[in-house]
Structure 1
Amino acid sequence: MLDSTQVLEMLKSVGAFKEGHFKFSSGLHGDTYVQCALLLKEPDLSEKVCRVIAEHFRKDKPDIVIGPALGGVIVAYEVARHLGVPGIFTERENGVTTLRRMFTIEPGQRVLVVEDVITTGKSSQEVIDLVEGFGAHVIGVGSIVDRSNGLAKISVPYYSLLEIKMNNYDPEECPLCKKGLPLYKPGSRK
């Protein structure tokens, strides 16, 4: 079983920590970015971190695993593989989180929501709301990294392999903007 120190070392080993001036999918700014895609592109590392998430939720007996595109696609697939259940993902259509590609969720299903990084919890909560709209039960949210500084707004219990305290700035108060540093937007939300 991996501990948080090992997960952090794995992220560092693939260059998944970036420093600079970033705009996150949440709209917040920060000086450090965790790009889990650099970890998830490595099948052996993906397998290791997703196995831990799967084992954490195995006792809750999920029927299906779902993640928001783009960061949750590989995580949903790999966690679902470990649990022996289907793995699907949501997409945005006209700015709204939705199921496409003939994916379905049935009323009463036990659903695990997963993603790579949680900053505000907005993407996870959008998926939770979608799933509950189908009459299914969300058993929890799992992620590789929680960088919310304890401020994520998620209506169900959540678990992350690694909690990282990072600076998050409201764009109007961002000291990096005030310094005129170039802004990079690596996230998936437009």
Structure 2
Amino acid sequence: MKETDVKKLLLDTGAILEGHFLLTSGLHSPLYVEKFQVLQYPEHTARLCAALADRFRSEQVELVIGPVTGGIILAHEVGKNLGTRAIFTERENGKMALRRGFVINPGERVLIVEDIVTTGGSVQEVIDVVRTLGGNPVGVGMLVDRSGGKADFGIPAKSLLQLDVPTYRPEECPLCRTGVALTKRGSRKL
């Protein structure tokens, strides 16, 4: 899939929203990508994940991991395409961790997948879990990189769609200054 195909699919399913949004990172933004608007369609999810898997096929991936919630779906589908196991991390006492009996074998080549990346904080937490448990992170696959390519994980990172979307600290947000109502979306409490 080309970037233009991915963007059209997100627009057609209503996944790209405009307004004034409070992001998981605490930043404000005029654009939000509601990934579940596209992920609710298994055929779209399968196409997107096959394209993501293709970008890492030469990396000899042995395990795919993603953070809960959207990362579960992506890890499963990408893992299916690569013929690997697929697991996920969850927050435990506010910190990303493996639960449910999941293990990462020492030296195992691990691909981290994530739905939407703005600052890359959750991805970095997953990379830290992988390394702490002896895994070898070989790449980061993203559905949408909304950092404009600024998120750097120190390992190869590839996205299906790259957006350069402005984000603002609350005290510097022009949307707040003009009185545009703030909408909080997403699943993580700040």
- Per-residue CA deviation, residues 162-189 of structure 1 (Å, 9 max, x unaligned), is 1011111111101111222222221232
> Offset at 1:25?
1.2
> What TM-score, normalized to structure 1?
0.96
Contact in 2 for aligned 1:120/1:153 (Cα 8 Å): no
Query: What is the match of residue 26 of structure 2?
Result: 27
> Offset at 1:23?
1.0
Secondary structure of residue in 1 paired with 2:70: coil
| Residues in 1 aligned to 2:34 and 2:108: alpha-carbon distance in whole angstroms | 31
| Residues in 2 aligned to 1:130 and 1:79: alpha-carbon distance in whole angstroms | 19
Query: What is the match of residue 100 of structure 1?
Result: 99
| Residues in 2 aligned to 1:115 and 1:187: alpha-carbon distance in whole angstroms | 14
Query: What is the match of residue 57 of structure 2?
Result: 58
State the identity as a percent: 49
| Residues in 1 aligned to 2:77 and 2:92: alpha-carbon distance in whole angstroms | 24
Query: What is the match of residue 179 of structure 2?
Result: 180
Query: What is the match of residue 166 of structure 2?
Result: 167
Contact in 2 for aligned 1:28/1:170 (Cα 8 Å): yes
Matches within 5 A, 1:26-175: 26-175=25-174
One-letter amino acid of the structure 2 residue matched with residue 189 of structure 1: R
RMSD between aligned alpha carbons? Answer: 1.0
| Residues in 2 aligned to 1:17 and 1:8: alpha-carbon distance in whole angstroms | 9
| Residues in 1 aligned to 2:95 and 2:35: alpha-carbon distance in whole angstroms | 23
Secondary structure of residue in 2 paired with 1:78: helix
Task: Give ranges in structure 1 of 5+ residues lacking alignment.
Answer: none
Secondary structure of residue in 1 paired with 2:183: coil
| Residues in 1 aligned to 2:64 and 2:30: alpha-carbon distance in whole angstroms | 32
Secondary structure of residue in 2 paired with 1:72: helix
Runs of 4+ in 1 over 6 A off after TM superposition: none
One-letter amino acid of the structure 2 residue matched with residue 176 of structure 1: L
One-letter amino acid of the structure 2 residue matched with residue 173 of structure 1: E
| Residues in 2 aligned to 1:130 and 1:171: alpha-carbon distance in whole angstroms | 30
One-letter amino acid of the structure 1 residue matched with residue 71 of structure 2: G
Report how many residues are paired: 189
> Offset at 1:93?
1.2
| Residues in 1 aligned to 2:21 and 2:152: alpha-carbon distance in whole angstroms | 21
Task: Give ranges in structure 2 of 5+ residues lacking alignment.
Answer: none
Secondary structure of residue in 1 paired with 2:96: strand
> What TM-score, normalized to structure 2?
0.96
